[in-house]
Amino acid sequence: MSAAGTMNNTATLHRFHSTVNSGDPEVISKAIDELVAPDLLFHAPVPMGLTGAEALKRVWEVLLKAFPDIHVAVEETISEGDRVVARNTVTGTHRGEYQGVPPTGKTVTYSEIFIFRFAGGRIAEVRGVVDVLSLLRQLGALPS
């Protein structure tokens, strides 16, 4: 892949993160339609019964209900070929039910790393590692 193609993929990923930080479910859904392949391969814990871009939309729906002010800070990106890796810090205030935990009002901060594979200028595959244990500990759902 050319350097320009790699730069375009990184720019697309930054557009995606900027959109999810809007906190607007409709804006996020439209961005997923535009930036993500409909048959997205999504290798992360997702709600059962959904695949592709629809699964990603559902993930953001759940996150926004639980953490309406959720913010993804991209700490660094690494690009190579058709892949972009993003190391992120996520913050938000727990205002809605999450993983069976009722709202606590607590502010949470956790880390995640995602690898995005691009095809035809769109996100075609996502692999992620999210520090869910840290998140659940901060919500009081697990012992410290």
In a domain, 111, yes or no: yes
pLDDT digits (tens, 9 = 90+) for 77-128: 999 999 999 999 999 999 999 989 999 999 999 999 999 999 999 999 999 9
pLDDT of amino acid 48: 65
In a domain, 144, yes or no: no
- Average pLDDT of the chain? 92
In a domain, 33, yes or no: yes
Radius of gyration of the chain (CA): 15
Q: Does 37 score more than 80 pLDDT?
A: yes
pTM, to two decimals: 0.90
Q: What is the dihedral of CA 25, 30, 32, 35, to 10 degrees?
A: -150
In a domain, 66, yes or no: yes
Containing domain of residue 87, as a range? 3-138
What CATH number is associated with residue 107?
A: 3.10.450.50
pLDDT of amino acid 51: 82
pLDDT of amino acid 7: 78
pLDDT of amino acid 46: 66
If one counts the domains in the chain, the total is 1
In a domain, 31, yes or no: yes
User: Residue 82 carries which side chain, given as an amino acid letter?
Assistant: D
Query: Average pLDDT of 70-78?
Result: 97
